[in-house]
Amino acid sequence: MDLLTVPIRKPDDINIILGHSHFIKSVEDLYEALVQSVPGILFGVAFCEASAPRLIRFSGTDEEMTSLARRACADVAAGHFFAVFLRNAFPINVLKAVQAVPEVCTVYCATANPVELVVAESGAGRGVLGVIDGLSPLGEETEERQQERHAFLRRIGYKL
């Protein structure tokens, strides 16, 4: 078995949700969950089918996001892996709907950060072992930074 890291290639301002699902209808059900969560959402979703004919299935409301999701699935190439790329929406707006899709087994990450997946490869194929989401911390939050965080969350409407 070989271990490798697979970077997810995306523009800095794009959010992603990466996970594991178990059935061919995942693409359709994820599509429905996303469009019902945020009016006008722009996204692409792709899914690596794990049994014959082992295709990358895809759908979306935005051609660029769909293309990015397809490329991520091709790069990772792990059975039952899915990728959602979001424009004009944040994972916090859709994550519970994604997790509620009956086929979804695991969500590895939901982020706009740079991401690498830790992938195992054997003669049977590939599987995702984990995720490296963002960069390592540089220190602890100061009282001033804590006040900035509180103010920011209230300014953008996520806290009262």
The domain ranges of the chain are 2-155
Q: Tell me the chain's radius of gyration from C-alpha atoms.
A: 17
Q: Are 159 and 153 in contact (CB under 8 A)?
A: yes
pLDDT(156) > 90: no
Q: Are 11 and 69 in contact (CB under 8 A)?
A: no
Each residue of 131-140: b (16+ CB within 10 Å) or e? bebeeeeeee
DSSP element (H, E) containing 16: strand 15-21
- Other beta carbons within 10 Å of 77: 15
At residue 134, the pLDDT reads 93
Range 2-155 classified under CATH 3.40.1520.10: yes
90-131 tens-digit pLDDT: 999 999 999 999 999 999 999 999 999 999 999 999 999 999
Q: Degrees (nearest 5) of the Cα angle 92, 160, 18?
A: 10
At residue 146, the pLDDT reads 96
At residue 24, the pLDDT reads 86
35-79 tens-digit pLDDT: 999 999 999 999 999 999 999 999 999 999 999 999 999 999 999
Q: In the chain, which residue ranges form alpha helices assigned H by DSSP?
A: 26-37, 63-76, 91-100, 143-155
Q: Are 33 and 97 in contact (CB under 8 A)?
A: yes
Mean pLDDT to the nearest integer, 14-40 = 95
pLDDT(158) > 90: no
For the entire predicted model, the pTM comes to: 0.93
